[in-house]
């Protein structure tokens, strides 16, 4: 089936090239998606720009009502969206359904928060001056999203942008554009004014180049690798665009000597194996106190052993395929490197390939290794796969120092039954997000984002709305 791009309020006929989307569990083709040309991109920007005045001047209630309508449509078709997501991404169907509901929550939350964009009246030091501050939409926004959360990464950007009064253009990842296309069928039904919500697919570099050279696009919001994030940061400097970056992570999970081991194991599973470990906030390094290392490891092996691997539509499957060969090879190389430098394989370690296409169809067993040290690649590089490396520590300072020893600073987790220790550790961890006795931290109300090379800005909650607003100061002399 051949799909289309959506702009100026309608699906557009496409004359140019298409690209194939594959099912990562077996390599079957799922459909053809347009490769937008530079000229298409110019037309998309024009239509978004043309809609700005109308959209930003609508009342907050008007904009928020449309977002709420979109939320209702998404929930009514959540199973269909989840089915498409499992086909193109491979994640277990239950996880896809969970992502649709999580993603829909951003539509709902910003349909409420969008009514609360307040300014300020600041007391002046001069009696004849009045200082007023108002917030106003930044302008046309261009969003780029990755394949690992094909739905929620879009709504986490689009809902606050539209609520703030900004027209929005989304470019989903080439591996997972079909979820976005299905979502835009619902966007079309809502009836946003022409040009307010737009979907473009195709060569990321080519399309983005047009955006970066166009001063009318005022904001870039990106989720993806740190490498591409740095590139976009430098490109967006040409026209000094506002920029938000949600980049890579290398989350530590610390199990202190007074941890509840059952809780710690459940938290490790929750934070590690979602989407086959292909998650920016996935636990990538487990630090365990030497006194409980044996008990924790034994319990973890028992819990991981039962995780069924396979096609995401099969019953009880918890581990789907790796997205592609590149992803598979990275996991494989990290594991080989660790084992060659003295790590000990406790579980898993094998992978296999199915299907006819070489580029996709890879499964990697859930894997646990211990005796991991800082000279191994897995200690510093984001894994994006189902491998748990265990490192043993002897005191709190050592654990925190090791946990912070990374250029990333996205998510972190720890387990302790002591509130005082927990507070101290949460303050010392150099991360934008901290899970204290939990491995599940994402929610629409909370500020999601990272320190250091994990990004700039926040998504979710009222912080997420600020990213799409400019602050205007008005000084009145009376």
Joined together, the tokens standing for residue 350 give 């094998």
Under the binding rule (CB under 6 A), the answer on residue 461 touching ligand NAP is no
- Cα 303-349-278 angle, rounded to 5 deg: 75
Q: Using CB atoms within 10 Å of the CB of residue 153, give its burial: 0 to 12 exposed, 13 to 18 middle, 19+ buried.
A: buried
Q: Supply the minimum distance, in Å, between the C-beta of residue 205 and ligand NAP.
A: 4
Which position's Cβ is nearest ligand NAP? Answer: 224
Q: What phi, psi does 343 have (nearest 5°)?
A: -70, 160
CA–CA gap between residue 402 and residue 385 (Å, rounded): 21
Q: Which residues pair with 143 in a beta bridge?
A: 170, 221
Q: Is 19 helix (H, G, I), strand (E, B) or coil?
A: strand
Please pick, from the candidates 31, 114, 150, 248, the single residue that binds ligand NAP as defined by CB under 6 A: 248
Q: Where does this chain touch ligand NAP (CB under 6 A) — which range of 68-76, 82-90, 147-155, 417-425?
A: 147-155
Residue 447 DSSP one-character state: -
Under the binding rule (CB under 6 A), the answer on residue 131 touching ligand NAP is no
* Residue with tokens 């079957």, as numbered in its chain: 28
Please pick, from the candidates 4, 26, 56, 225, the single residue that binds ligand NAP as defined by CB under 6 A: 225
Under the binding rule (CB under 6 A), the answer on residue 455 touching ligand NAP is yes
Catalytic: which of 64, 166, 276, 280? Answer: 280
Total of chain residues touching ligand NAP, rule CB under 6 A: 26
Please pick, from the candidates 92, 150, 160, 249, the single residue that binds ligand NAP as defined by CB under 6 A: 249
Joined together, the tokens standing for residue 231 give 């590139």
Under the binding rule (CB under 6 A), the answer on residue 460 touching ligand NAP is no
Joined together, the tokens standing for residue 174 give 């080439």
Residue 44-63 contact track with ligand NAP, rule CB under 6 A, x = bound? --------------------
- Count Cα neighbours of 274 within 13 Å in the Cβ-side half-sphere: 22
Please pick, from the candidates 147, 183, 287, 451, the single residue that binds ligand NAP as defined by CB under 6 A: 147
Site for ligand NAP in 367-426 (CB under 6 A): 382, 410
Q: Supply the minimum distance, in Å, between the C-beta of residue 430 and ligand NAP.
A: 16
- Count Cα neighbours of 253 within 13 Å in the Cβ-side half-sphere: 28
Cβ-based nearer residue to ligand NAP, 184 or 393: 184
Residue 246 catalytic?
yes
CA–CA gap between residue 174 and residue 157 (Å, rounded): 18
Q: Where does this chain touch ligand NAP (CB under 6 A) — which range of 73-81, 94-102, 244-252, 397-405?
A: 244-252
* CB 175 within 8 Å of CB 147: yes
Cβ-based nearer residue to ligand NAP, 159 or 288: 159
Cβ-based nearer residue to ligand NAP, 147 or 256: 147
Q: Is 33 helix (H, G, I), strand (E, B) or coil?
A: strand
254: how many CB neighbours lie within 10 A of its CB? Answer: 25
Under the binding rule (CB under 6 A), the answer on residue 228 touching ligand NAP is yes
Q: Which residues bind ligand NAP (CB under 6 A)?
A: 144-149, 171, 173-174, 204-205, 208, 223-225, 228, 231, 246-249, 280, 382, 410, 450, 455
Catalytic residues: 246, 280
């Amino acid at each position: 089936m051949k799909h289309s791009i959506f702009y100026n309020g309608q699906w557009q006929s496409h004359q140019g090239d298409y690209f194939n989307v594959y099912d990562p569990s077996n390599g079957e083709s799922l459909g053809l998606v347009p490769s937008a040309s530079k000229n298409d991109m110019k037309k998309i920007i024009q239509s978004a720009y043309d809609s700005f005045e109308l959209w930003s001047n609508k009342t907050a209630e008007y904009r928020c009502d449309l977002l709420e309508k979109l939320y209702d449509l998404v929930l009514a078709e959540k199973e269909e969206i989840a089915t498409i997501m499992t086909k193109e991404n491979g994640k277990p169907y239950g996880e896809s359904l969970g992502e649709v509901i999580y993603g829909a929550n951003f539509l709902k939350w910003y349909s409420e928060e969008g009514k609360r964009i307040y300014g300020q009246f600041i007391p002046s030091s001069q009696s004849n001056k009045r200082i007023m501050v108002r917030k106003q939409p930044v302008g046309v926004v261009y969003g780029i999203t990755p394949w690992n959360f094909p739905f929620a990464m879009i709504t986490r950007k689009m809902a606050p942008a539209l609520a703030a009064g900004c027209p929005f253009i989304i470019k989903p990842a080439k591996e997972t554009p079909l979820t976005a296309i299905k979502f835009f069928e619902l966007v079309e039904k809502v009836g946003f004014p022409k040009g307010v919500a737009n979907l473009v697919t195709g060569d990321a570099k080519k399309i983005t180049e047009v955006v970066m050279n166009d001063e009318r696009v005022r904001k870039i919001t990106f989720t993806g690798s740190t490498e591409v994030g740095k590139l976009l940061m430098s490109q967006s400097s040409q026209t000094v665009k506002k920029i938000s970056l949600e980049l890579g992570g290398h989350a530590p999970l610390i199990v202190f000597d007074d941890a509840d081991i059952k809780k710690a194991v459940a938290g490790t599973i929750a934070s590690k194996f979602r989407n086959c470990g292909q998650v920016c906030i996935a636990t990538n390094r487990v630090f365990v106190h030497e006194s409980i290392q044996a008990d924790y490891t034994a319990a973890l092996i028992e819990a991981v052993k039962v995780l069924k691997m396979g096609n995401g539509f099969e019953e009880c499957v918890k581990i789907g395929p790796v997205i592609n060969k590149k992803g598979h090879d990275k996991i494989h190389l990290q594991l080989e490197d660790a084992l060659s430098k003295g790590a000990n394989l406790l579980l898993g370690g094998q992978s296999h390939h199915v299907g006819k296409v070489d580029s996709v169809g890879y499964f990697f067993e859930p894997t646990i290794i211990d005796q991991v040290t800082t000279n191994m690649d897995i200690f510093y590089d984001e894994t994006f796969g189902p491998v748990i490396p265990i490192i043993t520590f002897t005191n709190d300072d050592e654990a925190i120092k090791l946990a912070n020893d990374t250029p990333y600073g996205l998510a972190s987790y720890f387990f302790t039954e002591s509130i005082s220790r927990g507070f101290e550790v949460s303050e010392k961890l150099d991360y934008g997000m901290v899970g204290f006795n939990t491995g599940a931290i994402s929610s629409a109300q909370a500020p999601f984002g990272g320190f250091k090379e994990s990004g700039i800005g926040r998504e979710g909650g009222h912080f997420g709305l600020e990213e799409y607003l400019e602050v205007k100061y008005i000084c009145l002399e009376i």
